[in-house]
């Protein structure tokens, strides 16, 4: 069993691409209780993405929250991010670990596959992500995953992240099925009140307390 680098439970927020108020709304989500941030931006503007990743890393450090980069190991390294999240076409765990170091958080998308989750956990993933559990505006054609996957993966010994169309109304069922984290994009970053939206998700987890800047 590899060392645990990622633990706990709560709201896992994923940014929604280029926006002028990215830092402001991310701060609001962290104030609302988000426990993990993933920076996701698929555009080719490398200079802006590096600048934003560095700024988000500093913001997350202020709140004591890990900052993870979506799909881009080189950007994660350049921004001194806490880790990277890999899809099925984004390279392997060993290569990411070699670049980012032994303590990096490396998460992996496992979609609707318990077999992939088993293989990724054995390869050293720090968490596995399943979904989409519900219809998602971000990926409307995503493969659908049944909540039973969360129960089946309990024996893997790594945290389980649920993603895809999750709301405060349906998220509780996924937590009951075994999700350690609820990963959310539009239901937080598309809300009129980002802080309140994050708080509604955070409140689904027992003993949740608001984040505040670390001193």
Tens digit of each residue's pLDDT (9 = 90 or more) over 175-208: 999 999 999 999 999 999 999 999 999 999 987 6
Tell me the pLDDT band of 214, cut-offs 50, 70 and 90.
low
Counting Cβ atoms within 10 Å, is residue 182 exposed (0-12), middle (13-18) or buried (19+)? buried
Q: How is the chain split among helix, strand and coil, in percent rounded to 5?
A: 35, 15, 45
Q: Supply the pTM of this predicted model.
A: 0.94
Where residue 3 falls among pLDDT bands split at 50, 70, 90?
A: very low
Closest CA to 85 of 16, 122, 100, 24: 100
**Bridge partners for 106 per DSSP:** 84
Beta bridge partners of 85: 70, 107
Task: Give me the residue label for tokens 């509780």.
Answer: 172
Question: Domains along the chain?
Answer: 10-168+182-202 (3.20.20.70)
Catalytic residue numbers, as ranges = 40, 109, 139
Q: Which residues pair with residue 12 across a beta bridge?
A: 36, 183
What's CA 153's distance to the chain center, in Å?
Answer: 18
């Amino acid at each position: 069993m590899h060392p645990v680098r990622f633990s706990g439970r709560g709201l896992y927020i994923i940014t929604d691409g280029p926006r002028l108020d990215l830092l402001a709304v991310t701060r609001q989500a962290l104030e609302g209780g988000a426990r993990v941030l993933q920076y996701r931006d698929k555009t080719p503007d490398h200079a802006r993405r590096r600048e934003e990743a560095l700024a988000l890393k500093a913001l997350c450090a202020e709140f004591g929250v890990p900052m993870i980069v979506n799909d881009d190991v080189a950007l994660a390294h350049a921004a001194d991010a806490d880790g990277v999240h890999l899809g099925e076409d984004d390279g392997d765990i060993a290569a990411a670990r070699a670049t980012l170091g032994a303590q990096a958080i490396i998460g992996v998308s496992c979609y609707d596959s318990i077999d992939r989750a088993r293989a990724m956990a054995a390869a050293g993933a720090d968490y596995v992500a399943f979904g989409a559990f519900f219809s998602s505006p971000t990926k409307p054609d995503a493969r659908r995953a049944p909540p039973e996957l969360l129960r089946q993966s309990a024996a893997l010994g790594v945290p389980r992240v649920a993603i895809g169309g999750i709301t405060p109304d349906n998220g509780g069922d996924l937590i009951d099925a075994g999700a350690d984290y609820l990963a959310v994009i539009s239901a937080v970053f598309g809300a009129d009140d980002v802080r309140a939206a994050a708080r509604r998700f955070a409140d689904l987890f027992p003993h949740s307390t608001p984040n505040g800047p670390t001193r």
